[in-house]
Amino acid sequence: MLRPDRGIPEVYLHRAPVDMRRQIDGLAAIVQGVLGHSPMSGALFVFINKRRDKLKILAWEKNGFIVWYKRLEAEKFKWPVREPAAVVTFSGEQLNWLLDGYDVSAMKPHKTLHYEHVA
């Protein structure tokens, strides 16, 4: 399984929903224009869709961008909606908890799903 390293020190969650049709250039533009960070800084930048069932992570690695994408089949990501800031900072470990389905503030996970085939 591919996922971000738990030891990554800087993870920024963009709180506002993003159109998941946005690709690398569109996400990098949000990082630079809205968040005020360099998309090539080595930090991870995390984006969510309006329904909170899809998540993208943008990262720069030496000579190019990486995009991780996760779609939940049930449940929703527990996104920090009560924070007043436009961006929330997480650790790499907290990001992995979020990807595992935890509400990071309450440490409560999603149910594990067991499917046999795709519909």
Q: Where along the chain do its domains lie?
A: 11-75+84-99
CA 78 vs CA 3, 37, 44, 108: distances in Å: 18, 24, 18, 9
Strand order in the sheet with 11-14: 64-71, 54-61, 44-48, 11-14, 87-90
pLDDT in tens, 27-77: 999 999 999 999 999 999 999 999 999 999 999 999 999 999 999 988 898
User: In the chain, pLDDT over 70 holds for what percent of residues?
Assistant: 86
Tell me the pTM. Answer: 0.82
